[in-house]
Amino acid sequence: MSQSIYFFLFFVYGLIFGSFFNVVGLRLPKKQSIISPPSHCPKCNTRLSARDLIPVFSYFINGKKCRICKESISPIYWVIELATGILFAAVFYFYGFTMETLMVLLFVSLLVIITVSDLAYRIIPDKVVFPFLALFLILRFFIHPHESYVSHLIGMVLGFTVFLLVAIVSRGGMGGGDIKLFAVVGLFLGYPLLLLTILLSTLFGALYGILLIVFVEAGRKTEVPFGPFIAIGSLCAVFWGESIIQWYWNFFY
Ligand SMILES: [Zn+2]
């Protein structure tokens, strides 16, 4: 019984934080303050009141439009809020009340924010990536339940180097933001799970690319941001990575 209350609380906190991550992801790349001005409609600039700021619900209650000027609001806001709610609850499901829960919540925060920025502007901002890099360098020294600290450092160097090489060989086919993000992902996960993340995110990216080519004619020309796929790959590695690697060893050896 009490477990389900905690699930619910983590979910609700996730919704609220998701709403905040939308603001951070959309404003930081444009060099705007996160705090002021308060949330407003991008079209008519009307300041949003409490009833417009309830995560997910406001969007549907207001008929998917701004209450004042009736401009359609992008569904990305509520999708991100709901996803963050589900992810926070999932973190509690997998890690319970441990120090690693705090770590993974931070990691989820990073991934959600860069997904918002990458979807909106095709940018993974240094202003988001570097603080998390510094934070994980310090925190991982103390909290590393699965891998040694050295494994996390190897992950960081490996993530950075592999994709720097990819960028050089492909002559800019890989963005600088992606390279730095992989350094943070490697640092957070350690190198075995980094390798799994690289595999999964390129696999998901490729599948999406194939779907675009098959179902959308312009698919070939569409530039797809890679950040969201790195995020999804990383999350799979966080939640199921150990099991996937275990399964792999049992299956082939
Ligand atoms: Zn408006």
Q: 65: helix, coil or strand?
A: strand
The confidence score (pLDDT) of residue 212 equals: 86
Closest by Cα among 235, 151, 158, 251 to 200: 235
**C-alpha 111 to ligand 1 mean position (Å):** 29
Contact of 174 with 166, CB cutoff 8 Å: yes
Nearest to 233 by CA among 206, 204, 211: 204
Q: Tens digit of pLDDT per residue, the chain (253 long)?
A: 588 999 999 999 999 999 999 999 999 998 888 888 888 888 888 898 888 889 998 999 988 999 889 999 889 999 999 999 999 999 999 999 999 999 999 999 999 999 999 999 999 999 999 999 999 999 999 999 989 999 999 999 999 999 999 888 887 777 889 999 999 999 999 999 999 999 999 999 999 988 888 887 655 566 778 999 999 999 999 999 989 988 988 888 7
Sign of the C-alpha dihedral, residues 204, 199, 193, 137?
Answer: negative
- Output the CA 68–ligand 1 centroid distance in Å: 5
Give the list of residues 6+ apart from residue 203 with CB closer than 8 angstroms, or none. Answer: 233
Give yes or no for a contact between 89 and 10, defined as CB atoms under 8 angstroms apart.
yes
Separation of CA 12 and ligand 1 centre (Å) = 26
Q: Are 119 and 225 in contact (CB under 8 A)?
A: yes
At 221 the pLDDT is 62
Q: What is the pLDDT of residue 99?
A: 96
pLDDT at 219: 52
What pLDDT, on a 0 to 100 scale, did the predictor assign at position 178? Answer: 93
Centre of ligand 1 from the C-alpha of residue 71, in Å: 6
- DSSP annotation string for 23-63: HHHHHGGGT--SSSSPPB-TTT-PBP-GGG-STTHHHHHTT
Q: Please report the pLDDT score of residue 186 as a whole number.
A: 98
Q: What is the pLDDT of residue 251?
A: 84
187 CA distance to ligand 1 centroid (A)?
Answer: 42
Q: How far is the CA of 170 from the centre of ligand 1 (A)?
A: 43
From ligand 1's centre to the CA of 54, what distance in Å? 16
**What's the gap in Å between 43 CA and the centre of ligand 1?**
5
